[in-house]
Amino acid sequence: MNETLKIGITCYPSLGGSGVVATELGKLLAEKGHEVHFITHSIPFRLGAFHKNIHYHEVEVSDYYVFRYPPYDLSLASKMAQVVKREKLDILHVHYAVPHAVCAYLAKQMVGDDLKIVTTLHGTDITVLGQDETLKDLIALAINRSDAVTAVSADLIGQTRTALDITRDIDLTYNFIDKRVYYPREVSGLRSEFAAPDEKILMHISNFRPVKRVSDVIEVFDRVNREVPSKLLLVGEGPDMPKVQNKIRELGLEDRVHFLGKQDEIAQVISLADLLLLPSEKESFGLVALEAMACGVPTVGSEAGGIPELVEHGITGYLAPIGDTDAMAAYAVSLLNNPAEKARMREACLDRAHTRFCDQKIMREYEEIYYRVLGRK
Ligand code: GMT
């Protein structure tokens, strides 16, 4: 049996798929017996109740009056070094390159080479920030100086190589779901609150940022709704919400769309849907499509980024070129009109989510990376 490790985890604790993945991984590692230390600016929102083997270290930022901008990055690096020394951590596993991988590199300069850094790239840290001239060299430095780098899709590995001219090894480690949480829920009572028995439910869940192309969701729904009586449930909030609301008004769809805002019980919410719409411009993986898959709900979306590695076209959903809302609507209509096809896809979704993206399997892949960088294979 491999020895247990002391692992520091830094992530964005309050938003996004990267924070969810980091937190869920920490919980799994702690259940396995490892000692996990979250080093973040607030308690990760997915942490939930008290967990044995999980510790939380809050990063406090100096607000000294000379600072125009509070130096969060320096405070984080300094906190990482303090926690590593005091708790004798073996590994710092940082999620999202900016600023976490840079801070970990700085912490390593303070504590010495025994500390190993594992950096997980999640998407926009490369596909958006990696294009930013003010940050790209620093991101490349942090990637090159990490002891191991992982990315959540093969597509993201390719994008990292191209955008930042990176040649080092990058491990492919897909995102995962906890099957104790993500499974088809019994929601027939709740369903009737949103749709009549003969209506289908389409759903979109995101942070409503431009990369999600939520306007495309409305266009697809508009076309589907002309042929299949249906409702659209929008889950989440974000900057594009006013634009989306305008489009819904312009198309006269107000009484067919429900806004659910931010939701915690995602498995229950997704179980309401007949299909998920994910027409993103950029998507390194698309964790929400995996969450849907694990609840037996297929995705109709774009071929962006890593989505095709997750959603197998024609098997667990349908994919079309970015912006091709006609094709997405046609796929959605054909799926919704064909109960046998829908039942087959549901089974394929459950099977794929719970085997290929099984939490225990992916956790072991991360553990192997930890033992490898520590030379304890
Ligand atoms: O999708 C977002 O805007 C949030 C972002 C994040 O950093 O949390 O998500 C990224 O990481 C997720 C977890 O690995 C992936 O599932 C998302 O596909 C990825 N988002 C993008 O690439 C746009």
Select the more confidently predicted residue: 15 or 306: 306
Closest residue to atom 9 of ligand 1, CA basis: 17
Model pLDDT for residues 245-282, shown as the tens digit of each residue: 999 999 999 999 999 999 989 999 999 999 999 999 99
Residue 280: strand, helix, or coil = coil
Mean pLDDT of 202-217: 97
Mean pLDDT of 292-305: 98
Arithmetic mean of pLDDT over the chain: 96
Instruction: Name the superfamily (CATH) of residues 188-355.
Output: Glycogen Phosphorylase B; (3.40.50.2000)
Domain residue extents for the chain? 6-176+358-373, 188-355
Ligand 1 center from residue 91 Cα (angstroms):
23
* Index of the ligand 1 atom closest to the CA of residue 127: 22
Model pLDDT for residues 99-113, shown as the tens digit of each residue: 999 999 999 999 999
Asked whether the domain spanning 188-355 has the same topology as the one spanning 6-176+358-373, the reply is yes
Residue 7: strand, helix, or coil = strand
CB 336 within 8 A of CB 369: no
Ligand 1 center from residue 48 Cα (angstroms):
21
What is residue 349's predicted lDDT score, i.e. its pLDDT? 98
Ligand 1 center from residue 267 Cα (angstroms):
18
pLDDT at 237 over 70: yes
Domain 6-176+358-373 annotated CATH 3.40.50.2000: yes
Give the separation between CA 242 and CA 253, rounded to whole angstroms: 15
Ligand 1 center from residue 124 Cα (angstroms):
7
Task: State the residue for tokens 């297929």.
Answer: 298
Give the separation between CA 142 and CA 130, rounded to whole angstroms: 12
Q: Band the pLDDT of 45: cuts 50, 70, 90.
A: confident
Give the separation between CA 321 and CA 203, rounded to whole angstroms: 20
- Lowest pLDDT segment from 15-19, 69-73, 120-124: 15-19
Predicted complex ipTM: 0.96
Model pLDDT for residues 147-168, shown as the tens digit of each residue: 999 999 999 999 999 999 999 9
Ligand 1 pocket, Cβ-based, cut-off 6 angstroms = 16-18, 21, 96, 122-124, 127, 152, 175, 207, 209, 211, 282-287, 305
What string of DSSP letters covers 125-160? HHHTGGG-TTTHHHHHHHHHHSSEEEESSHHHHHHH
Q: Which of 20, 24, 122 for a ligand 1 pocket mutation test, highest count of atoms within 8 Å of Cβ?
A: 122
What is residue 358's predicted lDDT score, i.e. its pLDDT? 95
Phi, psi of 94, deg, nearest 5: -105, 135
pLDDT at 15 over 80: no
Closest residue to atom 7 of ligand 1, CA basis: 18
Q: Band the pLDDT of 1: cuts 50, 70, 90.
A: low
Ligand 1 center from residue 287 Cα (angstroms):
7
What is residue 2's predicted lDDT score, i.e. its pLDDT? 73
